[in-house]
């Protein structure tokens, strides 16, 4: 039993040192040259993985700043899963709950990380659309439009889809940024920038428990907005519905019972 306890203690010390070599001493009896191989291997692999998973976030940081963030992730975060495909979710959880923002951090850091995570999560999502009672060529106005399970409507204070090394907003936009992030039938992930009306339309489609027609949903939105020309509103909405079907954000329309 004593040997098992000693081995467990060595394992714990080994893991602690890998995560935080400056503050956690390496296990006794292990040559530092050998230990350094593991230190570098774990850190560099994790850094490489997260760099590929959050490419824009990585590009915006210097290598030193990015390395500090990865090291902090290793030190303070306790992952709930060992699967690489769920690593983006773990890193996002760290940024949201375990990372202490400083004045040097980008104000859009959390929103950009969430947007990049959403693209990754959609690319590996196992969700499937049930198409048994859906007509892909159905009338989107006279029947009930159906939203894809692989399309998410997201809202941000910053235009996260435009952020790059050349565009780094310091203040939130005057209006929220609405995006439909989706995976099409060819398994390609894309996004469609929405306005408040089309974002509201997608939300209404997703929560359309009464299976109202697309036209009924549009007329309801027009009434909520006190839009003066309801017929024009419906025509614009019909064009938006067609575009979303072409992008596979909508799978079609519900066939009548």
DSSP 133: T
Q: In the prediction, which pLDDT does 5 show?
A: 54
Of 15-19, 112-116, 170-174, the range with the highest mean pLDDT is 112-116
Do 71 and 164 belong to one domain? Answer: no
Do 83 and 140 belong to one domain? Answer: no
Q: In the prediction, which pLDDT does 83 show?
A: 77
Q: Which of 20-29, 75-84, 96-105, 167-176 has the lowest mean pLDDT?
A: 20-29
Q: Which of 34-48, 97-111, 191-205, 237-251 has the lowest mean pLDDT?
A: 34-48
Do 83 and 154 belong to one domain? Answer: no
Do 250 and 143 belong to one domain? Answer: yes
Confidence of residue 55 (pLDDT cuts 50, 70, 90): very high
Do 58 and 163 belong to one domain? Answer: no
pLDDT at 245 over 80: yes
Q: In the prediction, which pLDDT does 178 show?
A: 98
Q: In the prediction, which pLDDT does 8 show?
A: 73
Q: In the prediction, which pLDDT does 153 show?
A: 96
Distance CA 254, CA 213 (A): 9
The pTM assigned to this predicted structure is 0.89
Stronger pLDDT, 78 or 35, i.e. the higher one: 78
- Strands 250-254, 134-135: pairing kind: antiparallel
Angle between helical axes of 63-76 and 2-19 (0-180°, round to 10): 150
120 inside domain: no
- The domain that holds 184 is classified in CATH as 3.90.930
DSSP 174: S
Can you read off the two tokens belonging to residue 67?
């390395």
178 inside domain: yes
Question: HSE on the CB side for 49, CA within 13 Å?
Answer: 16
126 inside domain: no
pLDDT at 105 over 60: yes
> Residue 253 contacts by C-beta under 8 Å, 6 or more apart in sequence?
134, 135, 138, 139, 140, 142, 143, 144, 145, 146, 214
- The domain that holds 86 is classified in CATH as 1.10.150
Do 54 and 144 belong to one domain? Answer: no
Q: In the prediction, which pLDDT does 1 show?
A: 44
Do 142 and 247 belong to one domain? Answer: yes
First to last CA, the chain: 67
| Extended beta strands in the chain, E state | 134-135, 144-147, 151-156, 177-183, 189-194, 250-254
pLDDT tens-digit map of 116-156: 999 999 999 999 999 989 999 999 999 999 999 999 999 99
Region class of 219: left (phi > 0), else alpha (psi between -120 and 50), else beta: alpha
Q: What is the mean pLDDT of the chain?
A: 90
Among 105, 126, 161, give the residue marking a domain's end.
105
Q: Quick check: 180 and 205 in contact, CB under 8 A?
A: no
Query: Into how many domains does the chain fold?
Result: 2
Do 75 and 179 belong to one domain? Answer: no
pLDDT tens-digit map of 11-46: 777 677 677 778 766 777 777 787 778 788 888 999
Q: Quick check: 100 and 79 in contact, CB under 8 A?
A: no
Give me the phi and psi of 177, to 5 degrees please: -95, 120
Question: Domain span at residue 238?
Answer: 134-254
Angle between helical axes of 32-53 and 87-97 (0-180°, round to 10): 90
């Amino acid at each position: 039993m004593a040997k098992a306890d000693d081995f467990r203690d060595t394992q714990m010390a080994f893991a602690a040192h890998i995560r935080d070599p400056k503050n956690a001493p390496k296990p006794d009896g292990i040559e530092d040259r050998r230990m350094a191989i593991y230190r570098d291997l774990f850190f560099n692999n994790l850094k490489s993985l997260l760099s590929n998973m959050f490419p824009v976030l990585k590009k915006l940081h210097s290598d030193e700043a990015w390395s500090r963030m990865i090291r902090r992730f290793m030190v303070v975060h306790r992952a709930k899963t060992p699967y690489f495909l769920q690593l983006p979710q773990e890193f996002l959880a760290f940024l949201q709950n375990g990372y202490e923002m400083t004045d040097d951090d980008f104000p859009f850091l959390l929103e950009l990380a969430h947007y990049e995570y959403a693209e990754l999560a959609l690319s590996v999502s196992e969700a499937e659309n049930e198409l048994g009672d859906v007509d892909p060529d159905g009338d989107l106005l006279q029947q009930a439009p159906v939203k894809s399970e692989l399309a998410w409507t997201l809202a941000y204070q910053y235009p996260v889809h435009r952020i790059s090394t050349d565009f780094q907003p310091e203040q939130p936009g005057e209006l929220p940024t609405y995006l439909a992030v989706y995976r099409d039938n060819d398994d390609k992930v894309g996004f469609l920038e929405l306005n408040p009306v089309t974002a509201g339309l997608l939300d209404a489609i997703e929560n359309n428990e009464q299976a109202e027609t697309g036209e009924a949903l549009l007329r309801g939105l027009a009434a909520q907005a006190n839009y003066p020309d309801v017929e024009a509103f419906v025509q614009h909405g019909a064009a938006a519905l067609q575009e979303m079907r072409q992008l596979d954000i909508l799978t079609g329309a519900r066939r009548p019972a």
